[in-house]
Amino acid sequence: MTEIAQLVNLGSAGAVIAVVIIFLRAIEKRDTQWQTFLHAERIVANTQRKEDRDRIERIETALGRLADETARFRADFSQHATEEMTRYETIIDITRKNDQAARKSRGGV
């Protein structure tokens, strides 16, 4: 502040310089505040990005497991369906043969 008091003694030119100095100090203070604020915001944004990446990785892992389980279920179901179809075909064949044998024993065709 002593600089400004000395500049006022220089007259109107000193007063202009004093106003410019005051203005520059105010800008410097505001700039420091903005830098502090933006630094804090950057830290928050980086933290959020990391948390989002972690969440996405967990979701991808869960989806991978779900896809694996679905594929395994599909294979198990397909095998089960094939076994059941074979069983049903066997039952149908036995039933036909029994029906044919019953018809022959009754004298039919």
76 CB neighbour count, 10 Å cutoff: 10
Q: pLDDT per residue over 40-96, tens digit each?
A: 888 888 899 999 999 999 999 999 999 999 999 999 888 989 999 999 999 999 999
Are the CB atoms for 8 and 1 separated by under 8 Å?
no
Confidence at residue 22, expressed as pLDDT on a 0 to 100 scale: 86
Residue with tokens 């100095």, as numbered in its chain: 21
Side chain identity at 89, as an amino acid letter? E
Sign of CA dihedral 56, 61, 64, 66: negative
- The 3-class SS string of 7-25 reads HHCCCHHHHHHHHHHHHHH
In order, the DSSP letters of 17-76 are: HHHHHHHHHHHHHHHHHHHHHHHHHHHHHHHHHHHHHHHHHHHHHHHHHHHHHHHHHHHH
Evaluate if pTM is beyond 0.75: no
Residue 104: band (very low, low, confident or very high) from pLDDT cuts 50, 70, 90? confident
**More reliable by pLDDT, 8 or 71:** 71
Q: How far apart are CA 99 and CA 102, in angstroms?
A: 5
